[in-house]
Structure 1
């Protein structure tokens, strides 16, 4: 397996966080320009969720963990908190709790939450 293939199949925590942040920004722009229900907005949102799940399944709980963000407005969300800063970031965006419950098993949710 080449280094490029390995990096693609097993991205670093730093790479995944960079991708999550970029896709999150793209999703917000797509929502502003085309509306929340546009195909681009939905696809961007779903890609962000997939990347967040991949980050958790690959690196939680040693490098990233879930914690409910009690300060967030709107629907209840988890923050994907990083144990060590990546760049100037201490978290990999938010994941709505209802979505986390749909895409993660009960065992994963328990494993990924901070105790």
Structure 2
């Protein structure tokens, strides 16, 4: 079960996936983790004047540049369109597997009663 749990764990928050989104590089992250990554990239760009993975600004009068995030697993730059995080696909198959894993794990915790400590007196 531990090997399966590691496959169902988000590489960013290190918890089981919650509403996993699939990046174009085919890695998955929790929706909240992608939102945090996008917010970090935007803030890093404002503060640092163009941090890697942030929003790149062009000359005035040109089209608004697209936001980019960096995949924490493979370090690939992922462009986001004007919809931001909503432009990424939700990985429903992975979510269903995580839900079944949680159910099985929780049932296993409830079904394992401690052994009886009372011994028969002769």
The structure with more strand, counted as a fraction of residues: 1
**Which has a greater percent of helix?**
1
> Quick check: TM above 0.5?
no
